[in-house]
Amino acid sequence: MVGAVGIDAAALPAPPHLIAAALTVSSAVAFPNPSTGNGTTLSFTVGGTSSGTGASVMDGNHPLLQDPNAKITLSIYTTGMRLIWTQTLTGGAYGTTGEHQIYWNERDFSGTGLANGIYLLRITIESNGQTSSTLGKILILG
């Protein structure tokens, strides 16, 4: 007979959970960059601060923070600061700390492909009454 393995439930870690936070955004990057005009991935890092304590899905030194009501806006501008594309992401997976990515087809509001040049990527997050934003550059060489 195979022996049964006993598990001491008290020795198991508490189930992981997310900690509420005011989130911030940093490190707006597009890749490939330069791009050939066939689409690019927009990548950004969400961080945060919290006064909460407890277990997390990462570890005690790097808790996974969340704001289910966070609103993240990705905007693309010409170098003259004319808005040509925007997308808003809300809560869910985007409202947690870590690296996030979204694909952009390099087309403006009307669906027209963009001319070769430099474009600015602005990512803004609104979280728990605070706003944080960062800028990145995208070079299109189609």
Q: Determine contact, residues 133/124, Cβ cutoff 8 Å.
A: yes
pTM score: 0.76
- CA dihedral 68→127→134→137, nearest 10 degrees, is 30
The pLDDT tens digits of the residues spanning 25-82 come to 888 999 999 999 899 999 999 888 765 544 344 445 556 778 888 899 999 999 999 9
CATH number of 18-50+59-140: 2.60.40.10
Q: Determine contact, residues 142/116, Cβ cutoff 8 Å.
A: yes
Dig out the tokens for 116 from the structure: 């070769």
Q: Identity (one letter) of the amino acid at 27?
A: S
> Rounded CA gap, 107 and 142, in Å?
12
- The DSSP symbol for 2 reads P
Q: In the chain, what are the domain boundaries?
A: 18-50+59-140
The pLDDT tens digits of the residues spanning 6-29 come to 545 455 444 445 556 688 888 899
